[in-house]
Chains A and B, each alone.
Chain A
Amino acid sequence: MGILPQHGRNGDRMADELHEAFLRLFTRAEPELRAFVRSCLPRLQDVDEVMQEVSLVAWRKFGDLDDRSRFAPWACLIARYEILKYRRAHARNRLLLDEAVIEVLADEAAAEMPLHQRRLVALESCFEKLPEARRELAIAAYTPGTSQKDLARQMGRTEGAIYQLLSRIRQELWRCVELTLAKEAGTS
């Protein structure tokens, strides 16, 4: 975060305050922003690169933001621009979605940002409903330091079988989350 907005003569103190305010807002919005970016660019390295640009641009322009309560949608606009910029830079040699598709996804993802937390909360309860063995497999599969190959050996399965199992688990969780959200919508 080495780029500072322009400040007045009491630059140091103002910069500190501004920096702190920015960090607080960005930290709070980061999960939703990240989910937003990820809904257009599933590859994690892409998401990391775009998020880095988003944080830099947002910090650079933070001084221009009048209404800080609108930080999330404001940052979302920046993210949208950065996603498209990233796409243009990399589309030639990578499988990236068409710009028009990204536009639609970005529109809808922005509208669904408030839903993100509810999805994660629903996911928690859905995860708890999984059989113990599936929970253990899912956690193990996503734990840093554990390779799919190691996991397959530990489980006495092939790597392909492990992948298929994980695929089933993900899809089962997704269905459960959607059902949970639909029920919530029906009762609210």
Chain B
Amino acid sequence: MTQADLDLLHDFVADRITAEAFPRLESLLRSSGVARRALRGLMAVEEGLEEMASAHLSARYFGTRAGQPQVQDTRPKSALSNLGDAFAAMVGSLVSPAGLRRGGLLLAAMVVGILIVSAAWRGLQPNARPPLPPGVLAQIVALSDPVWADAGQPRHEGDSLQMGGLLALERGLAEIVFACGATVVLEGPAMFEVRDASTGRLDRGRLTATLDRPTVAFAIHTPSAVVTDRGTQFGVEVDPSGKTDVRVFQGLVELVALAALGTAEPLRLSAGDAGEVDAAGRIARIDAAAPKKFVMSVPKPVKLPPKLPLPFVWDAARAVTLYRDSFAGSGTLAGTAATGRDGVGNAMWIAPADGWLLDPETKSLKVTATGAAFFPFRPEPGHLYRLSVSMHVVEGGVGWAALGFSTATNTRLATLDHAWMLQRHEAKSQANLAYKGPQLAGEVSRGDRLSGERRRTVVLDTTGPRWKAFFLVGDEVVGQCVYDQPPADIAHVAISVFPNTVVSFRDFSLRAIRTIR
């Protein structure tokens, strides 16, 4: 069975098969027992994933935990429950686990339905741009903090590039549009040359190429290889030895060693695949799971609105500290004491066993493993609560760290429940987000791109009949929300870290002011 056959079956399972493709599917299923078995296997995967998500809900609402038996459910579930419950939703607390599962099925179908409409290539469409002027092979359309190497001339947004046009980018990002419609995002340090309207050469550094017109070919040459695509998105990296590393994010790419161009069959790489050609011209498929981070787009400058007065009054003199940790200790965070509301170090972190370490030299918490750390906390009416931590997302690309309120303690997952905000490593268009909740519902941020070490604060205002939350970076409000019903299931405050992300936290605190009304 070919990959195309498998994709066809997958489209059927995902309910996104087209009327044009349907006869081919029927023919395949009629003629191939292997395909029919694969269909059943894919269906089982779909069902299993739905079960896993529902297991989180069950764990949340029925109190089951890893290793505990599931009442009236003899199906094997061990690992399904082991991931915990951090993604549980507010809905469904009164229905049975089977009902929850069915809800999950319906939602999955809705998700698939949305995807049918949006279509897989939608995400690849660059912003609609007018065609380049006649005779122009390529044009620089965006730059982000560029520093140009001595070998090249400084470039500016809007510059046209002719044959041999060179970009010697020491630092920063440059986005180049080719006349064929391809877009290249170049990440410094890199040396890139425009060859013609549909060809570029990368001598060193890293780029991401996107082509949304499958009818034309676009090629990137490197010292060791030629990468050709016909409507896809891929990343290329050339190291100082000339070795070429290719990652395919969407579509299909052909990779061939430069020395074997025209004589050898290219290596065909599809979405998620990776290949390399070393300096000696040896070509190989490599492990795509190894982390490589490619920048997909140049962030557009954002004009933040002017600072506004804080929409709440914080009288620090009246504030009581509920928790404070300057992370001055050493060793694993889990179980270490922070200052609790009685002013002594008796509050214990509930935290992952590994990868959350206190660094006594920098008085910070260094996190290299996904998960979350918690303190118990239940908000009461009539208070202003100020939850705050300084966070620096050191590595991780789109990975992030977060701060906010949670209902349960799952130390293995990063998504929080209510009034929470995240900061990414990359300062791109969706760099930092804030959510009203539950979980990913109710995004309220305006997408600030403030990276580096930042103090982030969530203020929960329970003084009125409708609770409010304010999200601050430094002393600037970047988002806010109002709750029609108080999120009464808040039971913890938390900091969290997404997988494959390295974060440094400093100076955590939760303070409260009781307001007499």
Spell out A's residues near B (CB within 8 Å).
27-28, 30-31, 34-35, 38-39, 42-45, 47-48, 95, 97-98, 100-101, 104-105, 108-109, 112, 116-117, 119-121, 123-125, 127-128, 131-133, 135-136, 138-161, 163-165, 167-168, 170-171, 173-174, 177-178
A-B contact list, 12 entries, CB within 8 Å: A28-B74, A42-B43, A97-B29, A101-B26, A120-B47, A120-B48, A128-B79, A145-B89, A153-B430, A156-B430, A170-B46, A174-B38
Closest to A148 in B: B111
Inter-subunit contact A135/B433 (CB<8 Å)? no
Closest 8 CB pairs of A and B: A158-B123, A160-B123, A145-B89, A156-B398, A142-B53, A133-B499, A124-B79, A150-B440
Known: A104-B30, A159-B114. 19 other contacts (CB 8 A): A28-B74, A34-B47, A38-B46, A48-B102, A95-B17, A105-B36, A124-B48, A136-B498, A139-B52, A139-B87, A144-B89, A145-B440, A159-B118, A160-B121, A160-B250, A161-B250, A163-B120, A168-B272, A177-B44
Q: Which residues of B contact A116 (CB under 8 A)?
A: 44
Pick the residue among A120, A149, A167 that contacts B44 (CB under 8 A).
A120
A45 to B106 CA separation, bound complex (whole angstroms): 7
Pick the residue among A125, A133, A138, A174 that contacts B79 (CB under 8 A).
A125
Inter-subunit contact A146/B17 (CB<8 Å)? no
Q: Which residues of B contact A132 (CB under 8 A)?
A: 370, 499-500
Q: Which residues of A contact B53 (CB under 8 A)?
A: 139, 141-144
A160 to B250 CA separation, bound complex (whole angstroms): 9
B304 touches A (CB below 8 Å): no
Q: Which residues of A contact B15 (CB under 8 A)?
A: 42-44
Closest to A108 in B: B36
Q: Which residues of A contact B79 (CB under 8 A)?
A: 124-125, 127-128
A125 to B102 CA separation, bound complex (whole angstroms): 23
Q: Which residues of B contact A164 (CB under 8 A)?
A: 120, 249-250, 271-272
A146 to B88 CA separation, bound complex (whole angstroms): 10
Closest to B52 in A: A139
Quick one: given A142-B53, A145-B91, are A31 and B121 in contact (CB under 8 Å)?
Answer: no
Inter-subunit contact A140/B428 (CB<8 Å)? no
Q: Which residues of A contact B17 (CB under 8 A)?
A: 95
Inter-subunit contact A127/B52 (CB<8 Å)? yes
A177 to B41 CA separation, bound complex (whole angstroms): 8
Inter-subunit contact A108/B103 (CB<8 Å)? no
Inter-subunit contact B109/A35 (CB<8 Å)? no
Among B361-409, those with CB < 8 Å from A are: 370, 397-398
A131 to B6 CA separation, bound complex (whole angstroms): 23
Inter-subunit contact A143/B75 (CB<8 Å)? no
* Min CB–CB distance B231 → chain A (angstroms): 12
* Min CB–CB distance A149 → chain B (angstroms): 7
B473 touches A (CB below 8 Å): no
Quick one: given A48-B102, A123-B45, A158-B124, are A146 and B87 in contact (CB under 8 Å)?
Answer: yes
B261 touches A (CB below 8 Å): no
Inter-subunit contact B40/A149 (CB<8 Å)? no
Q: Which residues of A contact B286 (CB under 8 A)?
A: none
A43 to B431 CA separation, bound complex (whole angstroms): 36
Closest to B425 in A: A156
Pick the residue among B14, B43, B104, B119 that contacts A143 (CB under 8 A).
B104
B413 touches A (CB below 8 Å): yes
Q: Which residues of B contact A105 (CB under 8 A)?
A: 29, 36, 39-40
B141 touches A (CB below 8 Å): no
* Min CB–CB distance A63 → chain B (angstroms): 24
A139 to B414 CA separation, bound complex (whole angstroms): 12
A119 to B44 CA separation, bound complex (whole angstroms): 7
A151 to B49 CA separation, bound complex (whole angstroms): 16
Closest to A45 in B: B109
Quick one: given A48-B102, A156-B430, A164-B249, are A143 and B91 in contact (CB under 8 Å)?
Answer: no
A100 to B52 CA separation, bound complex (whole angstroms): 33
Q: Which residues of A contact B441 (CB under 8 A)?
A: 145-146, 150
A97 to B13 CA separation, bound complex (whole angstroms): 12
B415 touches A (CB below 8 Å): yes
Inter-subunit contact B26/A142 (CB<8 Å)? no
Q: Which residues of A contact B45 (CB under 8 A)?
A: 123, 170, 173-174, 177
A143 to B58 CA separation, bound complex (whole angstroms): 12
A62 to B45 CA separation, bound complex (whole angstroms): 31
Quick one: given A39-B39, A117-B76, are A153 and B111 in contact (CB under 8 Å)?
Answer: no
Pick the residue among B41, B90, B102, B428 that contacts A156 (CB under 8 A).
B428
A116 to B46 CA separation, bound complex (whole angstroms): 13
B148 touches A (CB below 8 Å): no
Inter-subunit contact A155/B40 (CB<8 Å)? no
Closest to A119 in B: B44
Inter-subunit contact A120/B51 (CB<8 Å)? yes
Closest to B10 in A: A167
Inter-subunit contact B41/A174 (CB<8 Å)? yes
Q: Mark B78-115, 1 if CB is under 8 A from A, else 0.
A: 11101100011111100000101011111111010011
Q: Which residues of A contact B46 (CB under 8 A)?
A: 38, 42, 170
* Min CB–CB distance B429 → chain A (angstroms): 8
Inter-subunit contact A160/B124 (CB<8 Å)? yes
Inter-subunit contact B440/A44 (CB<8 Å)? no
Closest to A24 in B: B72
* Min CB–CB distance A25 → chain B (angstroms): 13
Closest to A170 in B: B45
Pick the residue among A141, A156, A167 that contacts B111 (CB under 8 A).
A141
A25 to B342 CA separation, bound complex (whole angstroms): 57
Closest to B19 in A: A95
Closest to A151 in B: B440
Which of A45, A141, A143, A153 has the most B CB atoms < 10 Å from its CB? A143
Q: Which residues of B contact A112 (CB under 8 A)?
A: 37, 40
B424 touches A (CB below 8 Å): yes
Q: Which residues of B contact A35 (CB under 8 A)?
A: 40, 43-44, 47
